[in-house]
Chain A
Amino acid sequence: MRRAVIDHARSVSPAVTALGLVTLGFVLLPLPFIVLYALSRNSYALFSSQGFTLQWFQRFFENDRFMAALQNSLAVSVITTVAALIIAAPTVIVAVRHRFRGRDLMMALISAPLLVPGVITGTAALSFVAQTGVGPGFWPITVAMICFTLPLVLRPLVANLSGLDSDLEKAARNLGASPLAAFWTVTMPQLAPGLVAGGTFAFVEAMDNFSITVFLTSITTTTLPVEAYSYIRDIDDPTVAAMATLLILMSVGVVFAIEWLLGLDRFLDMS
């Protein structure tokens, strides 16, 4: 019995496991250094003998430009997430439940904003807002983010709805529910995992986007990644590391929340 267990446990050879862990180490490598640098007393040395400090976190929160950028980023991300989910929900029904000519083409075209490199989307959007006289700023950034995150939201929702039994909804219809009521009370609650997964993607990507938003920010309206970029270029002290540490903490929090709400396995099944 014991032999069998050992044999199973070794279906991946120790060498492959070691190689895999080396890769994992490389993936994780940047994160601890960011945190160390954010706590460093000396802005030129990662390990100083003077101990640790929280002054860079304080500087981050006292910096008006960072605070304005943080507010913009949060507002853009929240609006993007809500709008992308509202737009995606009816599309998913069409994509999974309806049969019509051109459906595959439609689904392929919807993922186009993901495939086009951010720099191209960004420069094209900049040229467009300049020509139409709208000008760069908050709403162009938000609309661009909705466009960019829509395919990210759709994918988990399509996977989610495809896995559901449409007979349940038919049963509700037979019992006298209207199509809308049947969908809302029977199917919608079962789409919760897809909505959580899609919403997470939309929020995180809108919060982190640089290559599109950098073209649409103005002197008065910037986002956190763009502000961080210009701060690194102009000043470069550990204030940005403090910001990055907060973002890392946020993403760890998000992972715990996903694990608690859905389980990571299910989250990945849908993405």
Chain B
Amino acid sequence: MSRATFLLALPAMSVLALFLIVLLSFASVSLMVVDPGGAVFHGPPTLTNYGKLLVSEGAWRAVLTTLRLSSEITVLTVLFGYPLARVLARSHSRTLRRVILFCLVATFLSGGVTRAYAWLIILGNQGLINQGLRAVGLPRAALINNEFAVIVSVLNFVLPFFVLTLFGALRTIPETLEHAARNLGASRWRSFVTVTLPLSLPGLAAATSLCFALSLGAFLFPQMLGGGRVQVLATAIYDRIQASYDVPSAAALAVLFLLLLLLMLAVVGCIRRLVAIRFAGEAT
């Protein structure tokens, strides 16, 4: 590495080093024990916190809830997002494409708190839907403080990321390939399933893993719309800090969360590589 390279990379490397130091020192806190009744913690290093996590029913439930919710959200995102990405990439109406693009980027930029609050207004006990139900004499529906509200709001948040990423991949696939299949007599559906879908798989895998990672880490939406009844890993860590000031135990849970995330990323990476190998082989 030349001196110029070193100097140019130095500022960014310092930021990165600070980030890693902060994370590692937090991981080391997970080996300490908190004094009963106080926020002070001390050594010597022990695995007590991890031992407690292993037998904690709440922690395991949070792991399972996190995995289940993010899988459900990911499946829904793919089902709802793919058609929109396809319209955005393939529609011949320039106006339609511009309108979709404009709406997606505007919502994407309008922020999480804004949209979480909007879902409170819509789904809340005094919210839009329940006001409508009351107006026609129906009983109140429990639409908030449950997994339904969390899934709807996270899905809404993740969709623009997914559609914009998939759109980037879809528009690099030559449309002429689809036209060729159609000219040879394939139906629209068949030309999609046999030509476009396989070619879009690498892009689909990238967009899907992005949206899975975003749902795994989601915090604001479970916190605001779960109302304390939906405990995912992110909210469980927050509670350990805010409610019980137990930093070492929060740190242990965070380390567990990070390991889980790395595991999921490794699995997703393997799937992506398999997809790439399989379809690259078929294309040649």
Contacts and interface: CB of A to CB of B under 8 A. Distances in A.
Interface string B123-139: 00010100100000000
Interface string B226-247: 0000000110011001000001
A44 B105 contact: no
B8 A26 contact: no
Interface residues of A, number: 91
Interface residues of B, number: 90
A22 B155 CA distance: 14
A269 to B, nearest CB: 8
A235 interface: no
Given A91-B9, A117-B217, A112 B105 contact: no
A161 B279 CA distance: 30
A11 B90 contact: yes
B254 interface: yes
Interface stretch (A59-67, A162-170, A185-193, A225-233): A225-233
A82 interface: no
B22 A128 contact: yes
Contacts of B217: 116-119, 211
Contact of A208 (B9, B21, B111): B111
B111 A91 contact: no
A30 B163 CA distance: 18
Contacts of B179: 11
Closest 8 CB pairs of A and B: A30-B118, A117-B217, A124-B26, A20-B87, A251-B109, A208-B111, A19-B83, A90-B8
B88 interface: yes
A123 B83 contact: no
Given A113-B19, A124-B22, A46 B131 contact: yes
Contacts of A23: 80-81, 83-84, 159, 163
Interface string A250-271: 0110110011000011011101
A229 B107 CA distance: 19
Interface of B is mostly: helix
Contacts of A229: 113, 224
A8 B105 contact: no
B111 A268 contact: no
B18 A16 contact: no
21 contacts: A8-B92, A11-B90, A20-B83, A20-B84, A20-B100, A23-B81, A27-B107, A46-B121, A88-B12, A91-B9, A94-B8, A98-B2, A106-B9, A113-B16, A116-B261, A117-B234, A120-B257, A123-B241, A128-B25, A248-B114, A251-B110
Interface in A141-193: 143, 146-147, 150, 154
Interface in A235-253: 240-241, 244, 247-248, 251-252
Contacts, number: 259
B194 to A, nearest CB: 16
Interface of B: 1-2, 4-5, 7-9, 11-13, 15-16, 18-23, 25-26, 29, 80-81, 83-88, 90-93, 98, 100-107, 109-115, 117-122, 126, 128, 131, 155-156, 159-160, 163-164, 167-168, 175, 178-179, 188-189, 213, 216-217, 219-220, 224, 233-234, 237-238, 241, 247, 250-251, 254, 257-258, 261, 265
B87 A91 contact: no
Nearest to B241: A123
A147 B216 CA distance: 21
A152 to B, nearest CB: 12
Given A12-B91, A117-B219, A215-B241, A248 B110 contact: yes
B257 A91 contact: no
A241 B19 CA distance: 35
A232 B220 CA distance: 13
A207 interface: yes
A91 to B, nearest CB: 4
A192 B188 CA distance: 42
B224 A232 contact: yes
A90 B11 contact: yes
A37 B122 CA distance: 10
A1 interface: no
Contacts of B257: 117, 120
Given A115-B261, A255-B102, A255-B105, A33 B5 contact: no
A86 B14 CA distance: 13
